[in-house]
Amino acid sequence: MCGIVAYVGRKIAQPLLIEGLKRLEYRGYDSAGIAVIDQSGDLFIRRAVGRISVLESVLQQDKVQCQASIGMGHTRWATHGTVTELNAHPHTDDSGHIALVHNGIIENYAALKKFLTEKGHTFRSQTDTEVLAMLIGDVYNDIKARNHLAAGTSLLQKAVQAALHEVEGTYGIAVICKDEPDTLIVARKGSPLIIGVGQDEYIVASDASAIVGHTAQVIYLNDNEMAVLRPDSFRTTTIDDVDVHPVVTQLENKLEEYELGDYPHYMLKEIFEQPHAIENCTRGRLELRENRVVLGGLANFTKELLHARRIILTGQGTAWHAGLVGDYLLEDLAKIVTEATYASEFRYRNPLVEDNTVVIAISQSGETADTLAAMREAKEKGALSLGIVNAVGSTIAREVDGGVYLHAGPEIGVASTKAFTCQCVVLTMLALYLGRRRFMSPQIHQELIDGLASIPELMNRVLQQSDLVRQITEEYCERENWLFLGRGYQYPVALEGALKLKEISYIHAEGMPAAEMKHGPIALISDGMPVVFLATRGYQYDKVISNIEEVRARGGKIIAVATEGDENIKRYSQHVIYVPDIHESLQPLLTVVPLQLIAYHAALHRGCNVDKPRNLAKSVTVE
């Protein structure tokens, strides 16, 4: 949630901050603002409700371009306080000396606000962030009055450290002070911050998209760490002022991977990037000639995985749907008891974690708050922790015992597409990796890895039907209620299809097992209601046909996703979208694509913002 970008160096900060905010806008777009220290030594702050373009217009109205070389910006996804200019970041203390931007939630803000109010401080916003800014300012003034600092010590650093010791909750912050016009302080706990290291400059951001155009050298801050940045120096410490010796690493993705290119929307770009993303995901991991799967990130844990009594797959939203596909795969192909569970439920229910339990955290960003907390809870209870993440260097990737990167490339569209298919690919490779070492015959294994290797080509064939999907969708996209139904491997795909439609077109949609419909939801079927059936050939095909008949009898309109060559399905459906024939365990990789396209075309036809749906942000880093 929310995006931070901050800069200290020799360049003019303002255009760099706006550029960074535009790249971070997918993290939050309720309001935005910047703060810089201008040539006169004053804080220059501008904030605006709406997209970054609104803030940019406000700045263009200023007669003189600020030449400041230090500053910070923020794009907000509201948590505390409504969407107003007063609630937009940056926030200041009431003396106007200190400015702060913040991602996360200060859980004890009410108690801190009461304490500060009793000391005479006046608040202007409804946010928890202003409380933190005011607290830092209060501590700053107390330390300044006592004048106990050694020469050369940053008063701002000490104030931030002292204030953060009083804070409960999560934060990623950047702080500047007009009395220290060359110093930028950043700190994190539970909300990601990356420091880009340039020549006599540092650029800090919530993720790499705002940094990659300026430097490929980065430092990932860990929880309870902070950095004091000046154009010619930096120092990283814990908030207890213990020196930390950071590792400078290289960013994996290039700037052009973050660009929209010739596509009208990031979501469409990412849907069509899926074949290439899957090629990257499987490269070096599928050895077809030797009939084996190579997962280097798990090589040291093969024994534990093979002797696992239970594997728990945990995530949220789309990642949980991928985990549910993985549940079917691991039990079917590897014969290991597996459970897919919502991370938000796992972390609070005092879960039973027995000996030889493996917990796999699934997250595109590697920063999802609930998934990170669930993984930490599992580790605390003695489980082996593994990760399936896309963002290299993310918190989950750094904290798990081992894992597998997706290598899907940056995913900017809020509605996840290529991350989902790559998560399913990794889980398929994991199931094959373990299955071959347990009970799977060489023949079945070869058939499946050959099938997995063919997915990019087969997926391109599905993508060629985008115009057909658009025509079908436009016929029904004004209907406000849809159902998505599937059995077996197709049940998680039904969930994912419904989620995509809800996320970006604001159509109410439900995904469920096809057999569950008779146990209540069939009462929702009305004349003309669109019902999407995942009706590919498999061992439950005849049962799905029976479910289709039940919907038809009640006036529902059937959109079937079926296997190429299945002419029978046309007898039962108003519309058929075909996918190539492939082993049932690999079908979700193909059947999800038409559902992604349905959601995209529905949102487009209804005039919705495809890449920035209302009330949503890309990475959920707060509870």
Residue 537 CB partners (closer than 8 Å, separation 6+): 562, 563, 566, 581, 584
Run of H or E including 314: strand 310-315
Task: Give, as one character, the DSSP assignment of residue 106.
Answer: B
Give the pLDDT mean for 269-278.
Answer: 98
Lowest mean pLDDT segment, chosen from 61-65, 381-385, 428-432 = 61-65
Amino acid identity of residue 385, one-letter, is S
Residue 152 has what pLDDT? 60
Rounded Cα distance between 501 and 513, Å, is 17
pLDDT band at 62 (very low <50, low <70, confident <90, very high): confident
pLDDT at position 622, please? 62
* Catalytic residue list: 2, 618
Residue 350 confidence (pLDDT)? 80
- Total count of residues recorded for the chain: 623
pLDDT single digits (tens) 125-168: 999 999 999 999 999 998 888 876 655 678 999 999 999 999 99
Nearest to residue 385, comparing CAs of 281, 332, 308, 282?
A: 308
pLDDT average, residue stretch 39-52: 89
In this structure, the strands spanning 286-287 and 217-220 are unpaired
Share of the chain above pLDDT 70, in %: 98
For domain 3-251, the CATH class is alpha beta
CA distances from 254 to 200, 212, 251, 365, 598 (A): 22, 7, 8, 17, 30
Residue 65 has pLDDT above 70, yes or no: no
Domains 259-453 and 461-610 share a fold: yes
CATH (residue range 461-610)? 3.40.50.10490
Q: Where are the domains of the chain?
A: 3-251, 259-453, 461-610
Instruction: Say which CATH topology domain 259-453 has.
Output: Rossmann fold (3.40.50)
Please name the helix (run of DSSP H) or strand (run of DSSP E) that holds residue 129, with its range, or none.
helix 128-146
Task: Look up residue 590 and give its two tokens.
Answer: 């193909």
Q: Which residues in 70-212 belong to E strands, given as ranges?
A: 70-76, 91-92, 98-103, 171-177, 180-189, 194-197, 202-205
Of the two residues 66 and 127, the one the predictor is more confident about is: 127
Please name the helix (run of DSSP H) or strand (run of DSSP E) that holds residue 357, with its range, or none.
strand 357-363
Q: Indicate if the pLDDT at residue 261 is higher than 70.
A: yes
Asked whether the predicted pLDDT for residue 111 surpasses 60, the reply is yes
pLDDT tens across 349-398, in order? 888 888 999 999 999 999 988 999 999 999 999 999 999 999 888 899 99
Range in 6-10, 38-42, 316-320 the model is least confident about:
38-42
